[in-house]
Amino acid sequence: MTIQALNIKNYLLGPDATGRLSAEDCQRVAAFLYSHLDEYGDALEDIQACLAYAQARGGSVTYAEEDGELLGAVITNRTGMGGFIPGNILVYIAVHGKTRGRGLGKQLMETVLANVEGSVALHVEPHNPARKLYERLGFTNKYLEMRLQR
């Protein structure tokens, strides 16, 4: 499979967006992420809620497909902030196992970063191999994140 031949689509979402991601494509992206996030994934309902947030409040969906098969997908949400909190958070990114290590993740990230306005934050587990990609793209670890789970 040649990664350069893939069809990469990017949708900016939200109340001021001119285009909308179809309900069918929302379902396809959510199902793909649920299946391919592996150990870094969330419940399908959480992924769907992330998509709904992007549709209602702003964000983006970027995905790559070949012959109708999804091979990678990314969702960002707009935070509504800027300066003190990045304006965007990259919530989900996954590539199909058969495409890993071939540059698809990088292509998706570059497409996302070229199309969102403002700073972008993301969370990555320390042992996630994608961390090296994010660092090569300019992401830095500015803070130690701490959470109080309730």
Residue 4 pLDDT > 60: no
| CB 54 within 8 Å of CB 60 | yes
Q: Which residues pair with 63 in a beta bridge?
A: 9, 73
Residue 144 pLDDT > 80: no
Tell which phi-psi region holds residue 140, choosing left (phi > 0), alpha (psi between -120 and 50) or beta.
beta
Phi, psi of 86 (to 5 degrees): -55, 145
Confidence band, pLDDT 50/70/90 cuts, at residue 6: confident
Residue 19 pLDDT > 80: no
pLDDT of residue 84: 83
Listed range (28-37, 75-84, 88-97, 108-117) with the worst mean pLDDT: 75-84
Q: How far apart are CA 117 and CA 68, in angstroms?
A: 29
Residue 127 pLDDT > 90: no
pTM: 0.90
Residue 129 pLDDT > 70: yes
Query: Sign (positive/negative) of CA torsion 149, 87, 60, 136?
Result: negative
Taking residues 5-14, report their average pLDDT: 88
Residue 92 pLDDT > 80: yes
Q: How far apart are CA 116 and CA 34, in angstroms?
A: 23
Q: Residue with structure tokens 């990114």? A: 93
Residue 28 pLDDT > 90: yes
Residue 26 pLDDT > 70: yes
